[in-house]
Amino acid sequence: MSKKAYAAAGVDVDLGNQVKSGIQKLVRDTHGPEVLGKIGGFGGLFKPDFRGMKEPVLVSSVDGVGTKLKIAFAADKHDTIGQDLVNHCINDIAVVGARPLFFLDYLASATLEPKVFTQILKGFAKACKAGGCALIGGETAQMPGMYQPGEYDLAGTIVGVVDRAKMLDGSAVRKGDVLIGLASNGLHTNGYSLARSVLFDKMKLTPRSKLAGVTTAKSTLGDELLRVHRNYQPLMASLPPRVLKAAAHITGGGLIDNLPRALPADRDAEIDTAAWKVPAIFETIGKAGKVDRLEMFQVFNMGIGMVLIVSGKSAPAVLRQTKGRVIGRIVPGSGVVRIN
């Protein structure tokens, strides 16, 4: 039998169906009784249980993982990139107090590679299960001519819920409140274009390189750059009610651009950068790339993946529970971040 015309043009529908049929078990493991129907329908079905909430508000976000994908391509390692995407999206809604309900993914490539596809989906499923989030559907697109061989693009959409009375909007932030920083796990999903420019183009390193002070005897630079983006939502949700006044997910824009999103217009966040040790990977990029210090804090998370804003009275208990550290305070101002 001759090859089908569509497959000859680069889109193998039969292969796509075959590969997707093997993911049912992975996806079902993320489902609770709220999920209706099955994967493969025209739309995901989710019957939420809002009992106990007075005024449930749905919260949604969509994102990607940027050029971190280039590291996954170069290292031929695809089992963590899906986790990055799910966790990033969960954190984005966690800062308003929401818990995740369900997640949908979009995966596009020139040709469908079953091994790569399965690794990515395993990452989605692992992070969704760990985060209490149902993976209810997505789109897998074969688009020859749009992507280089061996490359793909990812995006994800998350929907969560928060009781309106418990929403975090920064309005409760006051002078003297404490900023508690939660450690990141490396670069997370931001700053990779600059990181690649410095590490690979300027320093002539590769994902398989060793880098003194950054890699270990058993790890490579690729391993360091592919560290999984942390999910902070379960830890944030474990705090006593009304202790958390506001929070900021430190993604693209770093502390400088993300913290203002959690501040009232008449308050500033004063950051003491001596309060934590900046991980070696950031120090290496800054020094080798001759990047201005303030720009580093606007591009990278610099070791802080999430900032919690709490009262001074609550800070000791929050520090014990989160293992975070005080990195600054709220002062009068105009809604900006001061880096000291």
Mean pLDDT value of segment 5-16:
58
> Mind listing the pLDDT tens digit for each residue in 210-247?
998 898 889 999 999 999 999 999 999 999 988 999 99
Pair of tokens at residue 336: 């900006």
> Mind listing the pLDDT tens digit for each residue in 88-118?
999 999 999 999 999 999 999 988 788 898 8
> Mind listing the pLDDT tens digit for each residue in 279-314?
999 999 999 999 999 999 999 999 999 999 999 999
Fold: same for 5-166 and 178-339: no
Mean pLDDT of the chain: 91
How confident is the model at residue 10, as a pLDDT? 57
pTM here is 0.91
Q: Is the pLDDT of residue 193 over 80?
A: yes
Task: Give me the half-sphere count of Cα atoms (radius 13 Å) on the Cβ side of residue 331.
Answer: 11
Q: Residue 215: which residues within 8 A CB-CB, separation 6 or more?
A: 209, 221, 223, 224
Mean pLDDT value of segment 24-33:
81
Q: Residue 221: which residues within 8 A CB-CB, separation 6 or more?
A: 199, 205, 206, 207, 208, 209, 210, 211, 214, 215
How confident is the model at residue 221, as a pLDDT? 95
Beta bridge mates, 157: 62, 104
> In angstroms, rounded to a whole number, what is the distance separating the alpha carbons of residues 130 and 125?
8
Q: Is the pLDDT of residue 147 over 90?
A: no
Pair of tokens at residue 82: 């899906």
How confident is the model at residue 149, as a pLDDT? 87
- Which DSSP symbol is given to 37? S
Q: Residue 285: which residues within 8 A CB-CB, separation 6 or more?
A: 194, 195, 198, 199, 291, 296, 300
> According to the CATH classification, is domain 178-339 in 3.90.650.10?
yes
Shortest CA distance to 189 belongs to which of 215, 156, 212?
156
How confident is the model at residue 217, as a pLDDT? 86
Domain positions in the chain: 5-166, 178-339
Q: Is the pLDDT of residue 11 over 80?
A: no
Q: Is the pLDDT of residue 2 over 60?
A: no
Contact (CB, 8 A) for 79 and 60: no
Radius of gyration of the chain (CA): 21
How confident is the model at residue 137, as a pLDDT? 86
How confident is the model at residue 8, as a pLDDT? 58
Contact (CB, 8 A) for 127 and 87: yes
Q: Is the pLDDT of residue 32 over 60?
A: yes
Banded model confidence at residue 37, pLDDT cuts 50, 70, 90:
confident
How confident is the model at residue 300, as a pLDDT? 96
What Å distances lie between residue 49 and 52, 59, 114, 229, 233, CA to CA? Answer: 9, 15, 36, 29, 19
Q: Is the pLDDT of residue 82 over 80?
A: yes
- Architecture of the domain whose range is 5-166: 2-Layer Sandwich (3.30)
> Which stretch of 146-150, 180-184, 271-275, 279-283 has the lowest confidence by average pLDDT?
146-150
